[in-house]
Amino acid sequence: MSNVTEFLRAMGEGDLKAGDELFSLVYDELRTMAAAKMAHEGPGQTLQPTALVHEAWLRLGGDAQPNWNNRAHYFAAASEAMRRILIERARSKARLRRGGEWQRVDFENVTVAIEDADDTVLAVNEAIEKLAAQDSLKAEIVKLRYFAGMSHQEIADALGVAEPTVRRHWTFARSWLYAELKSQR
């Protein structure tokens, strides 16, 4: 049993110090996950990996963490929390672009607008929701791969399936997502 699982169990039993120790223990891994996702974000992104980790930690319950089954359950929930934070930020930016906070712009400095990472995040999220209706395991693999930047082996460990199964499902899901995103344009 890993130290993470032991701290999760201690927290479930009411040990308040276990929350601080757990955060110290998993912080580097969570920050690596966040940095992997943030590396795909467009320029001008104001959210930093550290802030994403702290926001995810708070969404998961902060020091009053719920009962987690094991390390894999915890990291899957952390990945989902990060995904939701990024989706909410993308939606908020899209909302602002459609009329909020208008600015006066010098005509000489006007450039043609192109699709940015926020639009991509929203499109991928919609596609994942469609995929989840057909096959929830493949959708979960996409979430962990795309939003958390986890490797095939890490996903296999988190979901309790074989690594070749993750590879096979990822290959299918990637092709399906490509076709789905292409049809949305």
pLDDT, residue 41, reads 67
Largest interatomic CA distance in the chain: 63
Could you report how far apart the first and last alpha carbons of the chain are, in Å? Answer: 47
Instruction: Count CB neighbours of 185 within 10 A.
Output: 6
Q: If DSSP states are collapsed to H, E and C, what string results for 89-130?
A: HHHHHHHHHCCCCCCCCCHHHCCCCCCCHHHHHHHHHHHHHH
Mean pLDDT per 10-residue interval, the chain, length 185 residues: 71 72 78 77 71 83 71 83 84 64 46 51 85 92 82 88 93 87 78
What does the DSSP assignment read for the chain? --HHHHHHHHHHTT-SHHHHHHHHHHHHHHHHHHHHHHTTSPTT----HHHHHHHHHHHTTTTS----SSHHHHHHHHHHHHHHHHHHHHHHHHHHHTTSS-----GGG-------HHHHHHHHHHHHHHHHHH-HHHHHHHIIIIIT---HHHHHHHHTS-HHHHHHHHHHHHHHHHHHHHHH-
pTM of the model: 0.53
Q: What is the pLDDT of residue 116?
A: 47
Can you give the pLDDT at residue 168?
94
What whole-number distance in Å separates Cα of residue 88 and Cα of residue 99? Answer: 17
CA distance 140 to 120: 18
Token digits of residue 139: 């959708």
What pLDDT is attached to residue 179?
86
CA distance 72 to 126: 25
